[in-house]
């Protein structure tokens, strides 16, 4: 990301200590960089401990400050509470949680096994709740203010053909956002979400555009603004929601998609035209990417 395009003043986030799940790669890494640059202390976690360590090293050598990496699988409640115990005791209470970790792949729903459904739902639906629940209870018990932002998709409003487990799970986290904004607002906790359109990342593109963008994800072309998102745009929105100054925003899910959702629904409905051969090739490519990442997992 070009950090000169951050629209906020230096030091804005100096009082923030924020955990970003999936912060070792992709959008999570970009947000980690932006928050760090604006003075926050940042904690990042993922199953590939080495990837998180490398990201932390790289960001600190570029910007100084503190980025702390953890190998943590958010599907495992005990792993979440162990990590949060470590954060609280070694660094102090978090001020914010960015629910960014996710799993996804395109598939015809009739081709999904139960394990395939669970692979996605356990990360997005369960993992995001487990993390929010563990941290929320700490804030309530200690009478601390806190902010949670979840990275969703525009499919929470109109469904996600060919990504049904993801769309269902993200919609559930949208509901969590709206519900806890009301239930836990009285404790000084607030809950918002971002629904990004296409922002090219290695992890998403390998699983959602395994045809290297020839049809499905080169949707910058179909976007009203004729392009995909730029990382600083997403990060600026995340700072608005996670930094000080706009705390009255609570219970909102904000799209940042160039208007694509309004123009075309922003989902994968065009994949209805794919042949069996195209689906077989996509699955082989996705499973190759899955295996490559899995080989680096340390938890």
Q: Does 216 bind ligand NAP (CB under 6 A)?
A: no
Residues 6+ apart with CB under 8 A from 17: 40, 41, 43, 87, 91, 92, 93, 94, 95, 96
Chosen residue from 19, 20, 26, 125 binding ligand NAP by CB under 6 A: 26
**49 and 69 Cβ atoms separated by less than 8 Å:** yes
Q: Decide whether 54 or 111 has the Cβ nearer to ligand HXC.
A: 111
- Number of residues lying near ligand NAP (CB under 6 A): 32
Chosen residue from 21, 100, 132, 153 binding ligand HXC by CB under 6 A: 153
**115 and 156 Cβ atoms separated by less than 8 Å:** no
Q: Decide whether 126 or 140 has the Cβ nearer to ligand NAP.
A: 126
- The burial of 219, by beta-carbon neighbours within 10 Å (0-12 exposed, 13-18 middle, 19 or more buried), is given as buried
Residue 283 touches which member of ligand NAP, ligand HXC, none, C-beta under 5-8 Å by kind: ligand HXC
268 phi, psi to nearest 5 deg: -100, 30
Q: Does 293 bind ligand NAP (CB under 6 A)?
A: yes
Smallest separation, CB 99 to ligand HXC (Å): 12
**135 and 98 Cβ atoms separated by less than 8 Å:** no
Smallest separation, CB 138 to ligand HXC (Å): 26
Chosen residue from 12, 19, 102, 235 binding ligand NAP by CB under 6 A: 102
Q: Does 115 bind ligand HXC (CB under 6 A)?
A: yes
DSSP code for 160: -
- Number of residues lying near ligand HXC (CB under 6 A): 25
Q: Decide whether 39 or 231 has the Cβ nearer to ligand NAP.
A: 231
Q: Decide whether 87 or 194 has the Cβ nearer to ligand HXC.
A: 194
Q: Does 264 bind ligand NAP (CB under 6 A)?
A: no
Smallest separation, CB 150 to ligand HXC (Å): 12
Q: Does 49 bind ligand HXC (CB under 6 A)?
A: no
Q: Decide whether 125 or 184 has the Cβ nearer to ligand NAP.
A: 125
- Interface with ligand HXC in residues 275-294 (CB under 6 A): 283, 286-287, 290, 293-294
Q: Does 47 bind ligand NAP (CB under 6 A)?
A: yes
Q: Decide whether 105 or 274 has the Cβ nearer to ligand HXC.
A: 105
Residues that bind ligand HXC (CB under 6 A): 102-105, 107, 111-113, 115-116, 119-120, 153, 166, 198, 203-204, 207-208, 283, 286-287, 290, 293-294
Residues that bind ligand NAP (CB under 6 A): 21-22, 24-28, 45-48, 51, 72-75, 100-104, 123, 127, 151, 153, 196, 198-199, 201, 203-204, 293
């Amino acid at each position: 990301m070009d950090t000169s395009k951050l629209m906020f003043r230096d030091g804005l986030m100096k009082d923030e200590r924020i955990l970003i799940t999936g912060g070792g790669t992709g959008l999570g890494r970009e947000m980690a960089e932006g928050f760090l640059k604006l003075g926050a202390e940042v904690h990042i976690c993922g199953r590939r401990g080495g990837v998180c360590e490398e990201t932390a090293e790289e960001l600190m050598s570029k910007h100084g400050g503190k980025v702390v990496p953890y190998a943590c699988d958010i599907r495992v409640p005990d792993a979440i509470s162990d990590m949060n115990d470590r954060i609280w005791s070694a660094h102090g209470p978090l001020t914010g949680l960015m629910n960014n970790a996710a799993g996804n792949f395109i598939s015809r729903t009739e081709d999904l096994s139960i394990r395939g459904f669970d692979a996605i739902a356990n990360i997005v639906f369960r993992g995001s709740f487990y993390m929010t629940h563990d941290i929320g209870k700490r804030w309530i018990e200690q009478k601390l203010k806190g902010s949670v932002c979840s990275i969703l998709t525009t499919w929470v409003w109109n469904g996600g053909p060919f990504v049904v487990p993801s769309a269902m799970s993200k919609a559930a986290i949208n509901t969590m956002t709206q519900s806890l904004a009301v239930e836990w607002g009285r404790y000084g906790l607030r809950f918002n979400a971002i629904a990004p359109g296409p922002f090219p990342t290695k992890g998403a593109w390998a699983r959602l555009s395994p045809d290297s963008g020839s049809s499905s994800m080169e949707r910058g072309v179909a976007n009203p603004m004729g392009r995909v998102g730029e990382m600083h745009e997403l990060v600026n929105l995340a700072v608005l929601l996670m930094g000080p100054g706009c705390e009255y925003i609570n219970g909102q899910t904000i799209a940042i998609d160039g208007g694509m959702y309004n123009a075309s629904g922003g989902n994968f409905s065009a994949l209805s035209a794919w042949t069996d051969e195209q689906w077989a090739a996509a699955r082989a490519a996705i499973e190759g990417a899955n295996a490559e990442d899995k080989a680096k997992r340390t938890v």
